[in-house]
Amino acid sequence: MAEEMNDRVDQIISIENHIHETQKKVPEASGQFSGVLCEIALAAKIVSREVRRAGLADILGVTGEVNVQGEAVKKLDVFAQTVFVEILKRGGRVHAIVSEESEEIIKIPGFMPHGHYLITIDPLDGSSNTDANIPVGTIFGIYRRTPGELAEDEDLFHRPGSEQVGAGYVIYGSSTVLVYATRLGGVHGFTLDPSLGEFILSHPHIRTPERGSILSVNEGYRPWWKENTREYIDFLKSEGENRPYLCRYVGSLVADFHRDLVYGGIFLYPENGKDPDQPHGKLRLLYEAAPLAFVAEEAGGKASTGDTRILDIVPDDIHQRVPLIIGSRLDVEDYEAYYRGER
């Protein structure tokens, strides 16, 4: 019994343990980056608790406001935004934050301690699903402002996603899982154990299969896709080697992405001409596409618009939208070939 117990204790690695072990790989590290990740983990626990009891508290439904995206703001959107922003602000490690729920860049007031990290965040992704108890999530990206960088705050976020020093997401699903990636060593997932109040390592070294068999796309927009996009989707749904692919679409990007990351597959939100205001599709570069592209690439996957690597795009607007094709490397490369008219 004692031996068995020891094994289990040995296997229990909290996210804080893991973050600090990763930090040891960088002898000159100050611990600030680790602190940002730990603050994100704490905020995720608080949001998870609220999401889990949302049906019992007066926190479902809309606030009556409309955000910069022109979307109805859900009460959980506001709650998640407040929790992540306030915890990151008070930590003194952050210089500024771009959030889906804030039209302007969130700057740290002069009287509060400042750090060098720039955070991009979608506090609650998939929020249209909250009232139906469908999984939702949080997506985050982390950049480091070089000390003394004089760029105006507005320009600080006009940099490619390849400059992220870390990124990840939380999925509030059948369990709450936090996945983060750094340049130091892969992609790792942690499952929240509510009895401990700890995120425990559950998915070490996530690698995406180089080819999947799951297609994830909202076919409701088919009439407005490019012809090459339609041809690719029809190819995946036709008889052939490893085909037809299974079709799965949750409508929460984090849930669709996490499934494809773990099982393999391809998620597409292509440009579609349905909404003239959104010629590049609905998803936002800074706090949806770029953080997940970072995770995908660190796990051996790929992320593209069809002809441009997501992590190469330099935004000129903090709420810029981009087409997002993401998942298993060979599947994304197949789409790119169709998109370029080579198939």
- Residues at the interface with ligand AHG (CB under 6 A): 71, 100, 122, 125-128, 218, 251-253, 282
CB of 129 to ligand AHG, least distance (A): 8
**Considering CB distances under 5 to 8 angstroms, the limit depending on partner class, which of Mn ion, ligand AHG, none binds residue 251?**
ligand AHG
Helix (H, G, I), strand (E, B) or coil at 166: strand
Tokens of 241: 């080697």
**DSSP state, 163?**
G
**Shortest CB 133 distance to ligand AHG, Å:** 15
Write the DSSP symbol of residue 223.
Answer: G
Q: Residue 252 touches which of ligand AHG, Mn ion, none (CB < 5 to 8 A by kind)?
A: ligand AHG
Shorter beta-carbon distance to ligand AHG: residue 100 or 334:
100
DSSP string, 96-149: EEEETT-SS-EEPPTTS---SEEEEEEEEETGGGGGGT--EEEEEEEEEPPTT-
Query: What are phi and psi for residue 18, nearest 5 degrees?
Result: -65, -45
DSSP β-ladder status, 117-125 and 94-99: parallel
Residue 213 binds which of ligand AHG, Mn ion, none (CB < 5-8 A, kind-dependent)? none
Does position 256 interact with Mn ion (CB under 5 A)? The reply is: no
What gap in Å lies between CA 179 and CA 44, rounded to an integer? 11
**C-beta of 71: minimal distance to Mn ion in Å?**
8
The interface partner of residue 95, options being ligand AHG, Mn ion, none and the CB cut-off 5 to 8 Å by kind, is none
Answer yes or no: are the C-beta atoms of 328 and 260 closer than 8 Å: yes
User: Of 178, 142, 137, 136, which is closest to residue 159 (Cα–Cα)?
Assistant: 142
Shortest gap between Cβ of 249 and Mn ion (angstroms)? 15
Residues paired with 89 in a beta bridge: none
* Cβ closest to Mn ion, residue 122 vs residue 271: 122
Least distance from C-beta 123 to Mn ion, angstroms? 6
- Pick 122 or 334: Cβ nearer ligand AHG: 122
Q: Between residues 69 and 162, which has the closer beta carbon with respect to ligand AHG?
A: 69
Footprint of Mn ion on residues 140-179 (CB under 5 A)? none
User: Cα separation of 314 and 327, whole Å?
Assistant: 21
122 interacts with Mn ion by CB under 5 A: yes
User: Could you tell me which of 157, 127, 143 has the C-alpha nearest to residue 36?
Assistant: 143
- Cβ neighbours, 10 Å, residue 237: 13
The nearest distance, CB 278 to ligand AHG, in angstroms, is 9
The answer to whether 100 contacts Mn ion (rule: CB under 5 A) is: yes
- In this structure, what token pair is assigned to residue 263? 């099982």
Nearer to ligand AHG, 19 or 325 (CB): 325
Per DSSP, what are the bridge partners of residue 178? 170, 190
198 contact, one of Mn ion, ligand AHG, none, CB 5-8 Å limit per kind: none
For Mn ion, which stretch binds (CB under 5 A), given 64-72, 99-107, 174-182, 318-326? Answer: 99-107
Q: What share of residues in the chain are helix, strand, coil (percent, to 5)?
A: 35, 25, 40
Nearer to ligand AHG, 32 or 218 (CB): 218
User: Which residues are near Mn ion by CB under 5 A?
Assistant: 100, 122, 124-125
